[in-house]
Structure formats: structure tokens, C-alpha cells
Amino acid sequence: MKVGIMGGTFDPIHIGHLIAAQCAFEQSALDEVWFMPTNVPPHKQQAPGATPKQRWEMVCKAVEGHPYFRPIDIELQKGGVSYSIDTVKLLKQQHPGIHFSYIIGADMVQYLPKWYKFDELVQLISFIGLQRPGYELDVKQLSDQVRQAVSIVSMPLMELSSTSIRERVAEGKSIRYMVPDGVYDYIEVNGIYGS
């Protein structure tokens, strides 16, 4: 079984994240994509931001009933700052037999060798780099090690970020269609981001 890991702050999760996951799913022939909210240490939390519990619940709402998208709370449960290498080791321990890939933006691919314990990490997982229009990854610049570990998939340009969504809510503008309906309702009911 092949599983893609989509990590993020998800403050809040939006359709850019979901479309990215869908593109990775299709083009890398994955069986599932797991959405993994990262833990944000209190001093780094955005104001006005959602609590870890709210970020988690929004991710759950976004993938509720989906046949192959799943939420996982492995890093939230652990707390603190998680290194990918530790998360991957834990995932593989809990799910032997699953082949994991990290889904990352193509702009991040060139920095992979700088990731903590990359040499060890690359033995355990592979990477899916999302190529966005307007950013051309120069594959020739990559080392053989990185090139072998990464497969590049394409996705349409979605000019959307969690930051812009938080700002729109704070300004009283609508975020309908930018987030799934369940997330839209959740933000409104719980008065998140100054709604």
C-alpha cells in the first residue's frame, strides 16, 4: 500500500491543500493520502489563529466521508516540534508494510538535502514534489540522491493560502468555496479568526 503524507499547519485547511493531495494521489498512484497537522509551539502560534484542537477538527471535517483521504494526529499527539525523521520512524513502526511518501511543494525540493538527517530519511520514504505553474524546478541542479527520491507531479495554480483566508475572515469577507462547507460552518460557529 502507498500512502502520501500531506503535512501542514492547516490554520485552516483549504481547497488548495485538497487539490494538491488529489493531484499527488492521481499522478503518483497512491492508495491513500493522510493529512497530518503539525504541532505549532505556543510562541509561534498565529494571532488570531485556531487552537491545535480546532485545526485538527477542521482537517477531520474536510476529509469526512472521503474514500481515501484520512486525518492523522501523530504530530499533534506527540507535541513539541517534530522532525520528519522521527515522525516517519513512528509511522513505519505503527504501519509496517506501508510505503510512505511526503508530499511537498516543488520549491522545497532543492532544500531537501538540508532536512535533518536527510541521508537516513531518504532510506525510509520517498517524496512527491508538487510543481506549480510559475515555478520551474531545475531538475539538472539536483543531486542524484534527491532526483532518485523525488517524483514530480503537476497541479493547477491556486492563489490561496491559509494566511489569506484568516485575513478575509478578519475583514468580514466571505471564504465560502475556498474551504470545504464543513470547515466554513465550523469557523463561523466557533468564531475563529475573528469571525
Which residues of the shown chain bind ligand ATP in the complex (CB under 6 A)? 8-11, 16-17, 20, 104-105, 130, 158, 160-163
Distance of closest approach, residue 72 Cβ to ligand ATP, in angstroms: 14
Give 123 or 163: the residue with its C-beta nearer to ligand ATP: 163
Supply 153's cell numbers: 507531479
Distance of closest approach, residue 64 Cβ to ligand ATP, in angstroms: 19
Distance of closest approach, residue 77 Cβ to ligand ATP, in angstroms: 18
φ, ψ dihedrals at 71, nearest 5°: -90, 145
In the chain the beta strands, taken as DSSP E runs, fall at 2-8, 32-37, 69-71, 99-105, 126-131, 150-154
Give 144 or 159: the residue with its C-beta nearer to ligand ATP: 159
Distance of closest approach, residue 21 Cβ to ligand ATP, in angstroms: 9
Name the one residue in this structure whose C-alpha cell is 540522491. 145
Give 93 or 174: the residue with its C-beta nearer to ligand ATP: 174
Give 8 or 52: the residue with its C-beta nearer to ligand ATP: 8
DSSP string, 43-70: GG--TT---HHHHHHHHHHHHTT-SSEE
| CA nearest to 75, candidates 43, 103, 34 | 34
